[in-house]
Amino acid sequence: MFNNDDLQVRWWTLEAKLVERFGKKPDMETILFLIGIQELGTVAERFTKEQKQDLMHIAVCRLLVPSGYYELTDTDPDGWPHYKQLKPMPDLNPFEQEAFLKDHVLLYFEENEI
């Protein structure tokens, strides 16, 4: 997608925007949680630990839709989206996994103008 230097600069730019908006630098889990809430479209006063994990899973699935790894299959009566995996995830080392996910997060924020 992009070279690592460009990816890092774009990531720092996103982090700066998030710091400006939320007052502190979020880690990857927090970013996934925020994307999950965005995709759910509902903010609860409190989410259970299981719901937080589900929100992060929703985020990962949604992030990987443009690359053809997942597709949205339906939304349950409570409004929670459900995805189907279309192809196996690439075999990446931890550094490559982080870059892969960061690139998809950046694409999501660009597409959604958040």
Which whole-number Å values give the CA distances from 2 to 36, 51, 90, 100, 107, in the listed order? 25, 33, 17, 10, 11
In 3D, which of 90, 98, 89 has the Cα closest to residue 8? 98
**CB 64 within 8 Å of CB 104:** yes
Mean pLDDT of 67-90: 96
Number of structural domains the chain divides into:
1
29-70 pLDDT tens trace: 999 999 999 999 988 889 999 999 999 999 999 999 999 999
Q: Is the pLDDT of residue 78 over 60?
A: yes
Q: How confident is the model at residue 1, as a pLDDT?
A: 47
Residue 92 is given by DSSP the state -
Q: What is the pTM of this model?
A: 0.88
Which structural domain, as residue segments, surrounds residue 93? 4-112
